Amino acid sequence: MNPGPSGRDPHGPKFACCEDVTPTHIPLKPGRIALLAVLTGLLGCGEVPYLAQAIYKAQRMAEMGPSVALDLPAIEQRDTLVVIAPYNSTSYFLYRAEPMGYEYELLQKFAEEMDVKLRMLVVTERDSMFKLLRAGKGDIVAARLVGAPEDSGVVAYTRPLYATNPVLVQRSAGPPAVVVADTAPALGGAAEPATLPPITPARVRQIQRPSQLQGQRVDVPEQSPYTRTLIELADTLTGDIHVVEVDASSEALIRAVSEGTIRYTVAQGNIADISSDHYTNIVVRPALGEAAPIAWAVRPNAPQLHARLNQWLANEKNASLLQSLYTKYFIHSAGYHQRMDSPFLTSETGRLSEYDTLFKEGAKKIGWDWRLLASQAYQESKFQPRARSWAGASGLLQLMPRTAAEFKVRNATDPEENVAGAVRFLGWLTNYWTQRIEDPDERLKFILASYNTGSGHVEDAQRLAEQAGDDPTKWADVSYWLLQKSKREVYTNPVVKYGYSRGIEPVNYVSIILERFQQYRQAGNE
């Protein structure tokens, strides 16, 4: 097995994105497997007519849709790099309400060097990712991608981030898996779906060689690149391998193997290895193929972005970054244990913080999504109830002493009092701005900015916008003038009543809270 950046065999972690991976609760996906079986036979045969391959490629390109012309200059002009990614423990996830992930952190650094913002778009299915990429809804797919022959012309892959083998994950101890018999395509022997053999009470013997998978059921994630691996293996056997694609992540299926609800799955080696440090009753062997490169994908007609990414990945100054992040997410088992055992690994628990109940109760009173209030609290204090600013603001939502007194908060470091007082203040701001800003989405930005800097400074910016012929009800125009209030020639303007303001703080405040709110929503916690 080829080593990853760390120098050891690259195997690794993740956490489940579904509640239950018992096969009776997961929709099976047999149609794609049958198609892949046929396709693998075609592509693997040297005598297959060129026409057959051309027809398949044309059909796939039609399914994927046209690839829009949108390259690096357009991305820089819009000032945002959009990354399409799944929600998993190594690509992108929330831990203690903070975005993390190997691919996320790398692309965050890349976006910083481009001097653009990074926005994550969470998508689960591989083909859906590619369709959105080609439609211009995202710029990069970062999803632990293994290239496949049918991707030719659909996407362009970057330089590899690392390489890893497909490995079989099975139990090392405990009673046999309890799996309800169902149907799945039988690969290697039959073209028609076959009934899976029933589970017998006898203990299941561990698989030592790939050939011993003959007659066995193997569960893999939907659109897994390793479905093809199993098809190719089945072609070398006299019996069948029953492959079932399920709507679950690789990590979820590894957990299911540990719990005994499925017998086998196939995963990327580095994910399986670090998972085995957590689930001590699983075995990660044998390898089912050679190490394959893991890369990012961009549109095939975005050569400038493709070149920029490749240049960045190849740059020697970034080598230590790739090494340290690989170690953090694929080697450092203590960190993985902490995340997996934490009540605040959002994909597992649906929780952002220990104060979620307070945020939910408070948000109802002002008609907010509770995750928006949580995002604001994180921005104010990182959920530290005893946090205190240099200016004297304190508590989860950083109430100033005067505001705390006005809204009847006696102890601002008490989480319940603090959230209740902040909600009363936000309710007052909501009523105030409802009379002035009709559009609710625009109004929210004025409310957040006023919470941060005071409604007086925001009204100054409105008057400046109106004086300049801009729209005082649009945050884009008002935020521009709020930024200008740090300049003497602007804050001394006769229409300005509240003087100097360091406008960069409220403008960033609004932007960061709303962006984090979107991240919280995509995490799936309700």
* Of 517, 382, 520, residue with least CA distance to 93: 520
The CA distance from 210 to 224, in Å, is 18
Question: Which tokens hold the place of 237?
Answer: 């056997």
The CA distance from 232 to 230, in Å, is 5
Interhelix angle 415-434/455-467, nearest 10 degrees: 30
Residues 6+ apart with CB under 8 A from 461: 478, 479, 481, 482, 484, 485, 503
The DSSP result for 389-437, as a single string, is -TTS-BTTTTB-HHHHHHTT-S-TTSHHHHHHHHHHHHHHHHHHHHTT-
The DSSP result for 117-170, as a single string, is EEEEEE---HHHHHHHHHTTS-SEEEEEEE--GGGBTTBEE-S-SEEE-EEEEE
Largest CA distance in the chain: 88
The CA distance from 268 to 225, in Å, is 10
* Of 87, 83, 79, 144, residue with least CA distance to 115: 79
- CA distance between the termini of the chain: 41
* Of 88, 123, 116, residue with least CA distance to 104: 88
The DSSP result for 262-316, as a single string, is -S-EEEEHHHHHHHHHHSTTEEEEEE-S--EEEEEEE-TT-HHHHHHHHHHHH-G
| Residue linked to tokens 């029953």 | 242
* Of 84, 164, 146, residue with least CA distance to 118: 84
For residue 157, list its beta bridge partners: 297
Query: Are the C-beta atoms of residues 4 and 293 closer than 8 Å to each other?
Result: no
| List 103, 232, 245, 380, catalytic entry | 380
Q: Is 380 a catalytic residue?
A: yes
The CA distance from 181 to 199, in Å, is 8
Cis peptide, bond prior to residue 3, ω within 30 of zero = no
The CA distance from 66 to 151, in Å, is 14
Active site residues: 380
